[in-house]
């Protein structure tokens, strides 16, 4: 069984109001429950805002540490789910369910074999 990363792209800005966010999170949890029931769930997590990130970069044999995201943008990686799927078509079907639930763009990408063992 292959593993796939479903990345959730979140727009920069404030967190949506509860009346918007709560139904979305219920839908996301329903998809997560379906993933678990199907045996496709590996793990998932939400991320704090990009302003909390620290970038480590090798330059001339020294590692430089800087605050903030690696690149500036209008959206950022807001969360992710790692799943098991037989093939890309199955992973894309799960990705579509996540996109419908979260109402944000998602990316589905295979993990390299042996990466999560």
CATH number at residue 18: 3.30.70.1060
Does the residue 117 lie in any domain? Answer: no
Q: At what angle do helices 88-102 and 18-38 cross, to 10 degrees?
A: 160
Domain count, the chain: 1
Chain segment 55-84, per-residue pLDDT in tens = 888 999 999 998 876 667 788 889 999 999
pLDDT at 50: 85
**Nearest to residue 79, comparing CAs of 106, 112, 52?**
106
pLDDT along the chain (117 residues), means of 10: 94 91 96 97 92 89 85 83 96 97 95 69
Q: pLDDT at position 115, please?
A: 55
With respect to residue 115, please indicate whether it lies within any of the assigned structural domains.
no
Structure tokens, 114: 């042996």
Let me know: does 67 contact 56? Beta carbons within 8 Å: no
- Taking the C-alpha atoms of residue 43 and residue 81, their distance in angstroms, rounded to an integer, is 6
Q: In this predicted structure, what is the pLDDT of residue 63?
A: 95
Structural domain of 101: 2-110
Structure tokens of 106? 């998602």
pLDDT at res. 117: 55
Classify 30 as helix, strand or coil: helix
Place of tokens 């045996």: 39
The pLDDT of residue 114 is: 61
Return the pLDDT at 12: 86
């Amino acid at each position: 069984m292959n593993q796939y990363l479903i990345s959730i792209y979140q727009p920069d800005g404030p967190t949506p109001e509860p009346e918007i966010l709560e139904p979305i999170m219920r839908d996301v949890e329903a998809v997560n429950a379906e993933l678990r029931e199907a045996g496709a769930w590996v793990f998932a997590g939400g991320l704090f805002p990009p302003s909390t990130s620290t970038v480590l970069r090798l330059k001339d044999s020294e590692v430089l540490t800087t605050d903030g995201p690696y690149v500036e943008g209008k959206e950022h990686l807001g969360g992710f789910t790692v799943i098991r799927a037989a093939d890309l078509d199955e992973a894309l079907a799960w990705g579509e369910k996540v996109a419908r639930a979260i109402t944000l763009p998602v990316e589905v990408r295979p993990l390299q074999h042996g990466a999560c063992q």
